[in-house]
Amino acid sequence: MQECRLMDESPQILYRNYRNLKLDIATESGNFEFNCEFVCPSHSSFRKTEEYYHPDPPISRLFVIETGCAEVTMDGVCTKLEKGDIAFLPAGHPFQTVYHPGLICKAEHVHLHDGLGFALGPELPGLQKIWKPELFAALIAAFHTQPEFAAHPLIV
């Protein structure tokens, strides 16, 4: 039987300074500030099946599947991710992952919040799978040829 690793992430991670992209949005009812802080990359390759459970993720994630496949279960829905997929996993939604041998996943851990620091994520729908071959190619190229933070504007 495969061991599932419990990932206990402290909300203290949110109280540090990270590279940030800020977007000011003007609407008829007022202004809104959107922030995307880049907490850390997690670029991983898997030689064997590994399973993880995140019971209370304080940060959002963006998975870019370079090769192989993974399954993510969030809000009771299991989604298979394969080469070319981009997936957004919002904060505040518990999730479980199964990473299969041969998977190369370029993940970015991000903290999305408003101008007051309130996290954006718990009120968002669960996992969002994105199929945009042009964006996928641009992200993979940036991950392989640029400094770690070069992909950040593409993500936002």
> Which CATH number do you get for residue 76?
2.60.120.10
Q: Is residue 135 part of a domain?
A: yes
Domain of 74, in residue numbers: 4-15+39-110+124-151
Phi, psi of 26 (to 5 degrees): -100, 130
Predicted pLDDT at 23? 74
Q: Is residue 24 part of a domain?
A: no
The token pair that represents 146 in the structure block: 């640029």
Q: Is residue 31 part of a domain?
A: no
Q: Is residue 59 part of a domain?
A: yes
Q: What is the phi-psi region of residue 76: left when phi exceeds 0, alpha when psi lies from -120 to 50, beta otherwise?
A: left
Q: Is residue 34 part of a domain?
A: no
Q: Is residue 117 part of a domain?
A: no
Q: Tell me which residue has tokens 């007022």.
A: 30
The domain tally of the chain equals 1
pLDDT in tens, 40-76: 788 899 999 999 999 989 899 999 999 999 999 999 9
